[in-house]
Amino acid sequence: MKTAIPRVLVIGSAYVEVTLGVPRLPAGGETISEATLSVACGGRGLNQAVAARRLGAEVRFVGSAGIDRHGDQIADMLHAEGIPTEGLIHTEDAPTGIAVTLVDPEGLKQAARSSGANMRLVPESARRHDSLMSWAKVLLCQIEIPIPTVQWAIATGREHGVLTILDPTPAQRLPNALLSLVDCITPNAAEAETLTGVCVDGPGTASVAAQHLVARGAKRVIVTLGEQGALFCDGTSALHFPAFPVQGVDRMGAGDAFNGGLAAGLAAGGTWEQALPLANAAAALTCTRRGCLNSFPLRAEVEAFLRSLKR
């Protein structure tokens, strides 16, 4: 992989996440008392920024938080990870976003969230930092912020010649006008089904769904398939990248590690064929650790893991 300075701009969500580890997910109306508590920063945007940073990228993050202790907590975390805090917009209009997740020992989860300040990240706010578009090599967005902001960001990134990646989380239908702007969209199986109506259960059906998205304007599609790896499609060919075998204990954060790894690899000058194994390896190692933010691996750990597979 080339050694260009990997500069990644993430425009997306920031939450404080409350996670309860439970022996089983509750049935309707049931209360489970035997839970372990974890409170940490998170959100798709913030997670992917940290994942890319730990994999060696220089990262800038643009997001929105409230003027409250949770917003201060997010700023402190960004600083600790080596990500400048200037892009974190503090708003008086809403509190910092809060997410609550229940997770069972198999990694299955139930979640609810209050978007709070994330919905205040409108294009007028994000434009304060549009100078970062000329700095970045890769722009990474998700859809836990207003869609008009995502569309503005990707369109502006394209004007500046920045490679754009869209993680379409949470699952929802997207307009063709947005799809036609992105260089790569990275749905998981459920999101690919929501976007296309194709039931995705493996590489074959992922290829069919990917072709649908290419036909709607996306230049490239990567469908992440968990233990079955990832399917890459650019309209002329479809390549399956198998997952790396690991003893997984928690799947939380694997998708964010994948997207952060993909962005970091491409920003460093790597090809898609080089960046995808890096992303798969980052996701695999994340699954071997409990939690989300703390589970993202360092670049040296990923490289050591990949070397171990070649022995």
Please name the amino acid found at residue 296: F
pLDDT digits 0-9 by tens, 205-229 = 999 999 999 999 999 999 999 999 9
What gap in Å lies between CA 155 and CA 130, rounded to an integer? Answer: 11
Closest by CA to 179, choosing from 148, 208, 151, 211, is 151
pLDDT at site 144: 96
- φ and ψ at 218, to 5 degrees? -65, 135
Entry pTM: 0.93
Query: Residue 291 in 3-state DSSP?
Result: coil
Cis, bond preceding 277 (omega within 30 deg of 0): no
Cα 303 to Cα 41, 59, 67: the distances in Å are: 26, 20, 39
pLDDT digits 0-9 by tens, 272-285 = 999 999 999 999 99
pLDDT digits 0-9 by tens, 27-80 = 988 998 888 998 899 999 999 999 999 999 999 999 999 999 999 999 999 999
Q: Is the Cα dihedral 40, 82, 12, 188 positive or negative? A: negative
Query: Residue 17 in 3-state DSSP?
Result: strand
Cα 195 to Cα 149, 173, 205, 241: the distances in Å are: 19, 5, 13, 22
- φ and ψ at 104, to 5 degrees? -95, 175
Domains of the chain: 45-70+122-309 (3.40.1190.20)
Active site residue 76: no
Half-sphere exposure of 207 (CA within 13 A, CB side): 8
pLDDT at site 1: 52
> Residue 18: CB partners within 8 Å, gap ≥ 6?
37, 38, 39, 98, 99, 100, 101
Token pair 């962005």 in the structure block, residue: 263
What gap in Å lies between CA 186 and CA 280, rounded to an integer? Answer: 13
Q: Are 91 and 65 in contact (CB under 8 A)?
A: yes
- φ and ψ at 20, to 5 degrees? -115, 115
